[in-house]
Amino acid sequence: MTTQGTPYMFLLPGLVILGALLSVPLYKVVEYSLYDNVIVERNPTWVGLDNYTTLLTNPGYWSAGLNTLIFTVGSVLGHMVVGIGLALLVNTDISPRARTFFRSMLILPWIFTAVVVALNWQLLLNPFGLVNYVLQWLGLTSEPLDWLGNPDLAMWSLLLISTWRGYPFIMVSFLSGLQTVPKELYEAAEIDGAGFWHKFWHVTLPQLKPVIFGVALLDLIWTFQLFPLVWLSTGGGPGRATEVLSTLTFRLAFVDFQFSQAATVAVSILIISAAFTLLYLRNEARRL
Amino acid sequence: MIKTRITAWALAAATALTPLTAQAGEIEWLQWFAAEDTSGFYDQLVADFEAKHPDITVKLVTQPFGKVRESIVTDNAIGVGSDVLGLNMPWTKEFLDIGILEPLDDYLARDDNSFATGDLVEAPLGKIEGHTWMVPLNAFPFVMHVNMGLVREAGFDAPPATWEEFAEQAKAISALQDGTSGIGMPFSSQPPSNGPILTFLPLLYANGGRIMDGTTPNFDNPKVVETLQYLKDMQDAGGIAPGAASRTGGVDLEEFIAGRTGFLISPGVHSSSITGRNTEMDYTLARVPSNGEHAYRVHGWELGISADSDNKDDAWTFVNYLLSPEVNARAAKAANALPGNLKALDAVREGADETLIKQMDILEGDTPVEEMRQSPKAVGSWSVMTEEIQAMLRGDKTPQEAATAVQARWMDLAG
């Protein structure tokens, strides 16, 4: 064996295991989507693309797709606005001890599991919970609102929960990006008479554009297929008001035992996620 | 040399494959019962069985209730299903469609059984597709838990016995103070999304109604509509806690324990949690208020045998052991439940929890009902009920429209 090949031989076992763990489930999901039903069907029948036709003519799929779009775009926007805002705040010139304290506290939502986040927000948003109490105390509502049980409010509530859970990642990424912006640019802007907003729009944002784009795409990919937070917060309800594609996949598989239909939805999620991933990789390649 | 190597490889392969093949005399029992017991009772139960049957070993596989249904299906699909299965009656029909369960008729007909089939709680034994598929380990009847402190504060001195009294008391309790309600209705879509089977069905049965006609859905009948209307009226009168569409069964129980609702319709077994965690509550339990019928919903922990089991006889020996009056009484006491073998009733009564004895007394002579075992898809069926009842309580559908919609969607599920 040549010396040049040796490192690849060391990598081989890891690559084989990783490749198998990625490709086998991927292959199986695509294969399952081409049968009438699997797992519960001992002799599945090959139906080709029939499941895809059924899916595309199913209003439930389109409704879940629309909810996924609203949830994903809303969540990513929420993460970006809150994350960038807080990153700017904790990057200001205050006492180092206070800065460390705020940075540590603000990152907390990221370390909680989805179960803890969902349970806490259910309690907060309960008709007898803190949010309703404060709103009524301020005179903003006359009676308690069922935030997670009212179809008109449930998606907004879910976006609030998702924003709270997801902003720390954006905040941390943006904060590290802020450290790389040369101070001279701000000094030059100040000499030109720029205020806070001018510096933000004309110095900070352009400098951090590649970071923001990359992080937003990553967030988009993760949020698009987010399952536990939605399932544990609303279960896709009330009715199907917050049903997204990931919860629809789970419902078809483990509630209705329609594993092939579930695999078909999963493949559609895979295709869209793959498109986002390609976009992300192209962006990263351009940065390098 | 080559021969030695081949032998070594063969032995190694055989050793590696050993765990995949069942050993004679070794059975696996998948259940959630031990997950709800902290005393180690089920380990002891298995140890006692093994001491009496040295040729059989039992591997206790415990999972939380919410995971067992999925595990049974997926384990079966890949051929590693357990021999003895802990079952929930509503799963019956969908498991039959997949072919997971072994018919138990021949086993039940054996002369050397430790019990008489006629002594077992009847609901799980009813034939579907001409066979019996499960036997009852124990039974949990549904009752109404009552916070007598709130009932008295509202000006009444006894729990409600009729629908009329129930509506009146629930409304009066809700009017007591901010944050207190007559009763909660857990109609959240969050998993397991089973609020209607916890609260709506007990009221329907107490109204003399049913949702199935054999194995055919029969949801859009006058009794169902009347019961839905009763719930809607009670909500409009303020008797039901706000937020039914986001209220889970767990939250409902917690709210009652915390003293924020006057009534809770749920399995009688919850009485131990209630009295254990709120020792100051003036608590009692009563029959679910009736509208002319003395029938109660019952569910339980059932046992079945996997159709793919290689050790069906040993599996039955274990099931047979669990159903003997003496062992069954121990299992019922451990779960604070009624026994699956009614011959064990007297043994259970001796030294049983006071609330368990009260359940036996108030329900004596009433008709136990369980229909979900005949419904087409367990979780799918009750999710549909939840969604339509949510729509009705919001005012988007009338009770009749909600009942019609459930019926249509169930017929779709039934295929």
| Partner residues linked to B301 by β-bridges | B138
Q: What percent of chain B has pLDDT over 90?
A: 71
Tens-digit pLDDT profile for residues B241-285: 999 999 999 999 999 999 999 999 999 989 988 999 999 999 999
Do B74 and B132 fall into the same domain?
yes
Do B274 and B392 fall into the same domain?
yes
Alpha-carbon span A266 to A68, nearest angstrom: 13
The whole-number pLDDT of residue A284 equals 81
Q: Does domain A30-287 have CATH number 2.10.109.10?
A: no
Instruction: Convert A19-55 to b/e letters by CB count within 10 Å (16 or more is b).
Output: eeeeeeeeeebeebbbbebbbbbeebeebeebbeeeb
Contact A239 B391 (CB under 8 A): yes
Tens-digit pLDDT profile for residues B108-142: 999 999 999 999 998 888 888 899 999 999 999 99
- Residue B394: list chain A partners with CB under 8 A: 150-151, 238
Q: Say if residues B83 and B311 touch (Cβ distance below 8 Å).
A: yes
Global pTM?
0.87
Do B213 and B278 fall into the same domain?
yes
Tens-digit pLDDT profile for residues B341-352: 999 999 998 888
pLDDT value at B171 more than 70 = yes
**How many residues would you count in chain B?**
415
CB pairs under 8 A between A and B: 91
- Residue A122: list chain B partners with CB under 8 A: 246, 251
Tens-digit pLDDT profile for residues B332-342: 999 989 999 99
- Asked whether residue B179 is assigned to any structural domain, the reply reads yes
Q: What angle do CA B77, B80, B85 make, to 5 degrees?
A: 90
Quote the distance between the C-alpha of residue B292 and its chain's center.
Answer: 25
The whole-number pLDDT of residue B24 equals 61
Domain boundary among B322, B339, B361: B361
Phi and psi for A35 in degrees, rounded to 5? -110, 165
CA distance A276 to chain B (A): 30
What residue in A sits closest to B387 (Cα-Cα)? A239
When divided into structural domains, chain B yields a total of 2
Q: Which of B100, B189, B190 to probe by mutation at the A interface, max A CB count within 10 Å?
A: B189
Please report, for the domain that includes residue B327, its CATH number.
Answer: 3.40.190.10
Averages of pLDDT over runs of 10 residues in chain A (288 residues) are: 80 94 94 93 93 95 97 97 94 87 92 94 94 96 94 98 96 92 92 91 91 91 95 94 97 92 97 92 80
pLDDT value at B2 more than 90 = no
Exposed/middle/buried for residue B77 (C-beta within 10 Å: 0-12, 13-18, 19+): middle
Q: Say if residues A242 and A234 touch (Cβ distance below 8 Å).
A: yes
Do B290 and B319 fall into the same domain?
no
Side-chain half-sphere of A78: how many Cα atoms within 13 Å? Answer: 19
Domain boundary among B319, B343, B361: B361
Do B324 and B198 fall into the same domain?
no
Alpha-carbon span B256 to A125, nearest angstrom: 19
- Residue B247: list chain A partners with CB under 8 A: 149
Please, which residues have CB within 8 angstroms of residue B316's CB and are 6 or more apart in sequence?
Answer: B107, B305
- Asked whether residue B106 is assigned to any structural domain, the reply reads yes
Do B209 and B338 fall into the same domain?
no
- Residue A128: list chain B partners with CB under 8 A: 179, 242-243, 260
Q: Element (H or E) spanning B302, and its range?
A: strand B295-305
Tens-digit pLDDT profile for residues B146-163: 999 999 999 999 999 999
Q: Which residue range(s) make up the domain with B261?
A: 141-298+371-414
- Asked whether residue B17 is assigned to any structural domain, the reply reads yes
- Residue A256: list chain B partners with CB under 8 A: 377, 380, 413
Do B18 and B76 fall into the same domain?
yes
Q: Element (H or E) spanning B183, and its range?
A: strand B181-183
What residue in B sits closest to A150 (Cα-Cα)? B245
The residues of A whose Cβ lies within 8 A of any Cβ of B are: 38-40, 42, 122, 125-128, 143-144, 146-151, 231-240, 251, 254-257
- Asked whether residue B85 is assigned to any structural domain, the reply reads yes
- Asked whether residue B366 is assigned to any structural domain, the reply reads no
What residue in B sits closest to A128 (Cα-Cα)? B179
Contact B377 A239 (CB under 8 A): no
Do B403 and B265 fall into the same domain?
yes
Tens-digit pLDDT profile for residues A186-207: 999 999 999 989 999 999 999 9
DSSP for residue B366? P
Do B211 and B91 fall into the same domain?
no
B379, B387, B394: residue with CB nearest A255: B379
The whole-number pLDDT of residue B1 equals 46
CA distance A233 to chain B (A): 7
CA distance A123 to chain B (A): 9
Check residue B190 and give left, alpha or beta (phi > 0: left; psi -120 to 50: alpha): beta
Q: What percent of chain B has pLDDT over 70?
A: 94
Do B86 and B125 fall into the same domain?
yes
Kindly report the average pLDDT of chain B as a whole number.
Answer: 91
| Partner residues linked to B29 by β-bridges | B60, B84
The 10 Å Cβ neighbour count of residue B47 is: 13
Contact A237 B391 (CB under 8 A): no
Domain boundary among B324, B340, B361: B361
- Asked whether residue B145 is assigned to any structural domain, the reply reads yes
Confidence of residue B214 (pLDDT cuts 50, 70, 90): confident
pLDDT value at B387 more than 50 = yes
How far lies A288's CA from each of A173, A221, A282, A283, in Å? 17, 21, 10, 9
The whole-number pLDDT of residue B17 equals 46
Task: Give the mean model confidence (pLDDT) for residues B46-70.
Answer: 94
Contact A238 B193 (CB under 8 A): no
Do B280 and B313 fall into the same domain?
no
- Residue B243: list chain A partners with CB under 8 A: 126-128, 144, 146, 149
- Asked whether residue B130 is assigned to any structural domain, the reply reads yes
Q: Map out the domains of chain A as residue ranges.
A: 30-287
Do B187 and B267 fall into the same domain?
yes
Q: Say if residues B220 and B403 touch (Cβ distance below 8 Å).
A: yes
Confidence of residue B374 (pLDDT cuts 50, 70, 90): confident
DSSP string, B103-153: P-HHHHT-TT-SS-GGGB-SGGGS-BTTB---EEEEEEEEEEEEEHHHHHH
B70, B189, B242: residue with CB nearest A238: B189
- Asked whether residue B224 is assigned to any structural domain, the reply reads yes
CA distance A281 to chain B (A): 36
Exposed/middle/buried for residue A122 (C-beta within 10 Å: 0-12, 13-18, 19+): buried
Instruction: Convert A61-75 to b/e letters by CB count within 10 Å (16 or more is b).
Output: beebbebbebbbebb
The whole-number pLDDT of residue B14 equals 47
